[in-house]
Structure 1
Amino acid sequence: MFTLYGIKNCDTVKKARRWLEDNNVEFAFHDFRAEGLSQDQVQAWLDELGHAVLVNKRSTTWKQLDDAQKDQALGDDAAALLVEHPTLIKRPVLDTGKQRQVGFSAANYQALL
């Protein structure tokens, strides 16, 4: 079964959930604001996907960070900051068990699934 990570009130997450449901894809939803994430999990995502893909520099949370925190979010210690501020993670993250897809595009989901 797939896992879709995000926050429930995010419009892009809502679109991804609707697409998965409409296409009869079995998945579990993990609200990382409510349920949290482990630092190991976030580090694995960073190792696989990279900071440029995973860190959301357009988020309100990013804009509220000071320069030292922004440097941390793009450095080797990013996982700790992303666990502390999960809304810094681009959404949604779809975990198929074999790979992760960040963001939502119907065409990308169709090709992946």
Structure 2
Amino acid sequence: MKLYGLKNCDSCRKALKALPEAQLVDVRGEGVPAEVLEQALEQFGDRLINTRSTTWRGLDEVQRAQPAKELLAAHPALMKRPLIVDGAAMWLGWDKDVQAALA
């Protein structure tokens, strides 16, 4: 199981604590593999972009209008976190539904 996120993200730390078998992949340093990103975009669409982040607020309208794939390639921290991948299954975020599904 891989958890794509940021090592200093509170949600990612909570998910890692609850999922000790998960391996954290820091998206700032390592990025998200293209095939994982494609699958996540297909499954979650625009929900993959965290529009409440400081990175998003720092973008101008032209940058915000770019396709999600290009935005995430240029600004990996824009991804909603964590993205949890276990084989072919994916979960986005660390809300009660995701926690229940992985418990």
Question: Normalising by the residue count of structure 1, what TM-score does the alignment of the two structures yield?
Answer: 0.81
CA distance in 1, matches of 2:34, 2:68: 9
User: Structure 1: which 5+ residue stretches go unaligned?
Assistant: none
* CA contact 1:7–1:31 (8 Å) conserved in 2: yes
Please state how far the C-alpha of 1:19 moved relative to its aligned partner: 0.9
Task: Name the count of aligned residue pairs.
Answer: 103
* CA contact 1:39–1:80 (8 Å) conserved in 2: no
CA distance in 2, matches of 1:4, 1:40: 15
Identity %: 40
2:54 counterpart of 1:55? no
CA distance in 1, matches of 2:84, 2:28: 16
CA distance in 2, matches of 1:20, 1:38: 21
* CA contact 2:55–2:77 (8 Å) conserved in 1: yes
CA distance in 1, matches of 2:82, 2:27: 10
User: Structure 2: which 5+ residue stretches go unaligned?
Assistant: none
Structure 1: which amino acid aligns with 2:11? T
Please state how far the C-alpha of 1:40 moved relative to its aligned partner: 4.2
Please state how far the C-alpha of 1:4 moved relative to its aligned partner: 0.5
- CA-based RMSD of the aligned residues comes to 1.7
2:93 counterpart of 1:99? no
1:107 to 1:66, Cα distance in 2 relative to 1, 3 A? closer
Tell me the equivalent position of 1:4. 3
Give the ranges of 4+ consecutive aligned residues of structure 1 lying more than 6 Å apart after TM superposition.
Answer: none
* CA contact 1:39–1:79 (8 Å) conserved in 2: no
What secondary structure sits across from 2:25 in the alignment? Answer: strand
* CA contact 2:49–2:80 (8 Å) conserved in 1: yes
